[in-house]
Structure 1
Amino acid sequence: MKRELIIQLEANVLTSKKGERIQYYALNRWDENDEFDEWAKPLEALSSEAERILGVTNAQLECCRSTDAALEDFRSFLKK
């Protein structure tokens, strides 16, 4: 079966300043069961404006794994 991924990444900053990825999402458009979706806890807290725009709070991200751990699994998913 063909694997064509739709990828979405969210960052913890709203400007061109380098930030951390806080959401890793990918979906195979030909197989909805082939999906990766994980939020990650950034080292730097989200601003209140970022929380409002992204629809996720620092409290929700508190229990998430680190960005490094989430990225490692995301890379593995992409290589499938």
Structure 2
Amino acid sequence: MSDRLIQSQKRLHDSLFELYIDGGLELFQAGTRGLKRDLIIRLETSALTPEKGEIIHYYAVNRWDEEDEFEEWAKPSVALSQEAERILGVTNSQLAHCRSTDVVLQEFLAFLDR
């Protein structure tokens, strides 16, 4: 890679990082007068591609309030493949006692709407 391209990528990275830090600090200082919630959301699916699977792990946390968090695993309507179990680190037997994806999704959406 050329030095010019490397330097350009470094400047872009540094600029984006500064924007993130400055904007994040501004929101933090605004407190309840600023943004109500800034959620970090992570979803995991039951298959190796989102088109073939359904969401089985719902996670969200407010960046400014760790107490404002949602995390729950859901039982998929179709069993996980052995490869999906290995990648996710969870087994069908562990998910057998979880609530259905439909139920968990409704609670997750309610959490997001707060």
TM-score, normalised relative to structure 1: 0.95
Offset from partner CA, 1:40-74 (integer Å, 9 cap, x none): 00010001110111010000000000000000000
Aligned counterparts of 1:32 and 1:15: Cα–Cα separation in 2: 30
Higher strand fraction (1 or 2) = 1
Structure 1 unaligned spans of 5+: none
Alignment: residue pair count: 80
Q: Secondary structure of the equivalent of 2:94? A: helix
Aligned counterparts of 2:50 and 2:108: Cα–Cα separation in 1: 23
Identify the match of residue 53 of structure 1 among 78, 87, 94.
87
Partner of 1:7: 41
Higher helix fraction (1 or 2) = 2
**Higher mean displacement: 17-26 or 41-50:** 17-26
Structure possessing the higher radius of gyration over alpha carbons? 2
* Matched letter for residue 68 of structure 2: D
Relative contact order, higher structure (CA 8 A, sep 6+): 1
Aligned counterparts of 1:5 and 1:61: Cα–Cα separation in 2: 25
* Within-5 A mapping of 1:1-80: 1=32, 2-15=36-49, 17-80=51-114
* Matched letter for residue 47 of structure 1: S
Aligned counterparts of 1:17 and 1:5: Cα–Cα separation in 2: 24
Identity %: 66
Deviation at 1:19, TM superposition (A): 1.3
C-alpha RMSD over aligned residues: 1.0
* Matched letter for residue 102 of structure 2: D
